[in-house]
Amino acid sequence: MPAHPTPVAADAVTDAERLGETARFVREQDTALLLARVLPGLDGPELRALTDRCRFAHAALLVFPPDEAALRTELAACGLAADAEARPSVVVRDRLAARYGRRPEDLDVRILRPGVTGPAGERRAVEVFALAAPPGSGAARIAAAERVRDREAHLAFDVERPDPLVLRGLLASFARHGATADGGGYNPHEDGTVFYLTAPDDTKSPYRRVELYAGGDHRDVLAEHFGRAPGGGTAPASPASSEPAETLLRLLTGAWTTQALAACAELGLPEALERDAGTGVPELARAVGARPESLAVLLRYLAMLDVVAEGPDGFRLTGVGALLAAEAPYSMRPLALMYGGPFYESFAHLTHAVRTGEPGFEHLHGENHFDRFARDPELAARFDGSMVSSAPLFDPLPGHPVLASAAGAPGGPRTVVDVAGGTGELLGRVLTAHPALRGVLLERPHVLAAARTRLAVPAAEGRCSFREGDFADVPAGADVYLLSRVLHDWDDERCRTILRHCAAAMGPDADLLVVERLLPADGSPSLATAWDLHMLCNTGGRERTAEQYARLFADCGLALVGHTPLALGAHALHARRPAAPSL
């Protein structure tokens, strides 16, 4: 996204014009209004809390003068202080080096912060990253590519009175509203830590990158931030790490993190630990049946991941670790055991999947994972539990206008069919939110047994029926059809078959809601990118962009009406039959 609020093709705008546009933007913004635009889902209390902790400080852009004298001439022409001190920019320098395969020491990136005044007289700045790019130099080629993508442009908020608790709370707030971790680093030249995030898809800001700046060295929180990056395993080193070998080494240990979390769940550590008091290693070892010296090694690693915390009285459970407890609401224990078990084993065959297109799971087991799980009740229950772990992504869905409209429509009760709806987690939420609706769950026989228990609650009692079958058995005549996390399991041809069965069952006024993660069209980091690799290796399916889903719908006589963001990177795509042309 360009650094100026009105997007213009990057190659059609001079650096001087970009500087001027950015300066005007910084002078005009109000912190609260800007935060509300960056994170549209913020409510009043949370917006006030964020505004109390951060203030809009600057907008940043990367420019490419031939030398420092030319840069200062451009700054002066924009009314920006040309005498601002230029310091080395470690974070951006190393991001560019990693992006273009260059040695960091070969890139001369400077940072200047000429001051401007905000609408209430507050002091702000235009943060200018400058990569010296004389014509014909290697840096000139980087400049040409960066002018097109403008990947270092961002908004920045200074964190007031930063401490680890404040920083963790702010990062959690951004994550709750769809922002994702996108790097950062510690700059020893100014003793400051930056946390970069990608704004959510529904952001109203012209900037897609956001920086939280905290004075001081907060590399412990930064490590956790990297651990939340899409697809991250062990908290990877910052792109600003001074040694590329260290960065790669940390990335290569991601498998260790997966196994450490699975071991934590399998040993029952979350059940043996407490949140408010520490427990000594010998006592824990007796409780979980482990060798104390070996358990201590695992606990230290888990502490590095913030799954447990160590104090004078021993180890205690953190909020992250509590999610691995078997009885936790939407426990992620089954997910840890799946990712550390069957799916972990199949990832050893990722190279085969990339070379041949055959999923690693099928190559290892000789059958697809659905057939294997159907023959193994224990594994099937674990898989169903892992799907429930992600159920919070459904939280906003019962309020979707399609469901609200069906619930409020006059006449007899409207019907919602959940196609391949698992144990009924989503359908149960819909029926609980809308007492006027009836539900039908279509699933395989071994899954319906668990679903009948899940939906035997007073809120849904008498309003849900169960139908054994496959995609060819989608019942006709319903008002709303749901396909949640189904299509990404399959290739395009199988998706068309599934969608054609749904379209054949849908009346002219019926609606289809498809819940999936969407690949970003611009290649920016996302959870969907990580899951795309997972689908390749384990199911033979894939994640898709909104446009790719639109084409699948069109192939089956449906039209994409629109899509709305949900939690955990998911979206609800709304499709229906196109309106008949008027005569």
Identify which of 267, 80, 24, 50 has the alpha carbon closest to the alpha carbon of residue 158: 50
Residues 373, 484, 460: CA angle, nearest 5 degrees:
95
Residue in this structure with the two tokens 């960056």, named with its chain if needed: 38
Cβ(420)–Cβ(486) below 8 Å: yes
Element (H, E) at 304: helix 292-304
36-56 exposure pattern, b = at least 16 Cβ within 10 A, e = fewer: bbbbeebeeeebeebbebbbb
| Measured distance CA(195)–CA(155) in Å, rounded | 11
Cβ(116)–Cβ(49) below 8 Å: no
Burial class (CB in 10 A: 0-12, 13-18, 19+), 419: buried
Q: Is 81 left (phi over 0), alpha (psi -120 to 50) or beta?
A: beta
Tokens of 164: 């680890």
> Is 488 a known active-site residue?
yes
User: Which whole-number Å values give the CA distances from 193 to 88, 165, 218, in the listed order?
Assistant: 15, 15, 6
Residues 251, 255, 258: CA angle, nearest 5 degrees:
120
Residues ≥6 apart with Cβ < 8 Å to 329? none
Catalytic residue among 218, 349, 434, 488: 488
Tokens of 383: 């898989």
Catalytic residues, which ones?
Answer: 488
